[in-house]
Chain A
Amino acid sequence: MNLQVELLEQDSIQYFKVIGEIDAFTAPILRERLTAVEGTPNLQAELDLSEVDYMDSTGLGVFVGFYKAVKANGGHVKITGLNRRLSRLFEITGLSEIIDIEKKESEDHDATI
């Protein structure tokens, strides 16, 4: 039950790779890492969640907060690597309609598993 957040800067895009479980215990770690950059004007951020094994509303709350702050500063947030479970969570909460989300291609066709 740990969370790791790695930050890479590629061609002026802040690329975050989140690894592990996002819940009430680990969400503050994620929030801390994201709030450190959210005030940057015109921030282009990409959050890769392909290695997130578990997430609940505490994680969604962090992403909504980050999205709002980045947008307010003229930037853009993109969330990538969502597996079927995570993308369902973004869908039932309506967040997929608001935040720029890119699904994991390989997971799109195995809905019957």
Chain B
Amino acid sequence: MQPYDYIEIKIPAKAQYVGVARLMISGIASRLGFTYDDIEDLKIASSEAITNAVQHAYKEEEEGEVVVGCALFEDRLEIMIADHGESFDFEETKKHIGPYDETAEVEFLREGGLGLYLMETLMDEVKLHHEEGVTVFMTKYLGGERGEEDVKRTANS
């Protein structure tokens, strides 16, 4: 197993702390040497996951906590976000996410459901694990260009 440094933050499941965790991710990504664009991608993707976790905990009306763990490898950053709130069905949710279709009627514009799509687009890998709530694992490699390719593909399709 490759050696790595691990940094973790535990925040109350409240919206005002999403930005605090985002600042931590931004600092870590910067320390690892990610580019400006990759850091911005990481900030958005992790905020999406943390926001989901906070909102699930909120629905449960619990004074929950969200744990954000970062494993710093030489070639990548792995981020784990765990809530202990209500689970959501990834496959089912996934069916309803995706880019907006130019031809779609305005009525079908989905206001929610973009979070997972953005996580998948902006990160190199996203995995979900159900066990005592939902845990999201996200990986971004240093020097990865996948995000940019996605943009080009979307723009050209």
Chain A residues packing against B (C-beta within 8 Å): 1, 21, 23-25, 54, 56-58, 60-61, 64-65, 67-68, 71, 85, 88-89, 91-95, 97-98, 113
> Roughly how many angstroms separate A24 CA and B44 CA in the complex, as a whole number?
11
> Roughly how many angstroms separate A98 CA and B18 CA in the complex, as a whole number?
29
A94 x B99 contact (CB < 8 A)? yes
> Roughly how many angstroms separate A56 CA and B102 CA in the complex, as a whole number?
20
Return the contact of A56 from the options B16, B44, B154 (Cβ within 8 A). B44
A93 x B100 contact (CB < 8 A)? yes
Tell me the smallest distance from the CB of A92 to a CB of chain B, in Å. 6
Q: Kindly list chain B residues whose C-beta atoms are within 8 Å of the C-beta of A71.
A: 106
With A21-B19, A25-B18, A56-B51 known as contacts, the answer to whether A93 contacts B114 (CB < 8 A) is yes
B135 on the A face (CB < 8 A): no
Chain B residues packing against A (C-beta within 8 Å): 15-16, 18-20, 22, 36-37, 40, 43-44, 47-48, 51, 54-55, 99-102, 106-107, 109-112, 114-115, 117-118, 121, 150-151, 154-155
B19 x A56 contact (CB < 8 A)? no
Tell me the smallest distance from the CB of A89 to a CB of chain B, in Å. 7
Interface centre among A1, A58, A67, A113 (most CB of B within 10 A): A58
A24 x B154 contact (CB < 8 A)? no
B151 x A92 contact (CB < 8 A)? yes
A92 x B154 contact (CB < 8 A)? yes
Interface centre among A57, A60, A94, A98 (most CB of B within 10 A): A57
Return the contact of A98 from the options B15, B102, B107, B115 (Cβ within 8 A). B102
B106 x A68 contact (CB < 8 A)? yes
Q: Kindly list chain B residues whose C-beta atoms are within 8 Å of the C-beta of A89.
A: 44, 118
B154 x A94 contact (CB < 8 A)? yes
B15 x A24 contact (CB < 8 A)? yes
- Identity of the chain A residue whose Cβ is nearest the Cβ of B51 in the assembled complex: A24
Q: Kindly list chain B residues whose C-beta atoms are within 8 Å of the C-beta of A54.
A: 22, 43
A23 x B111 contact (CB < 8 A)? no
Q: Kindly list chain A residues whose C-beta atoms are within 8 Å of the C-beta of B115.
A: 56-57
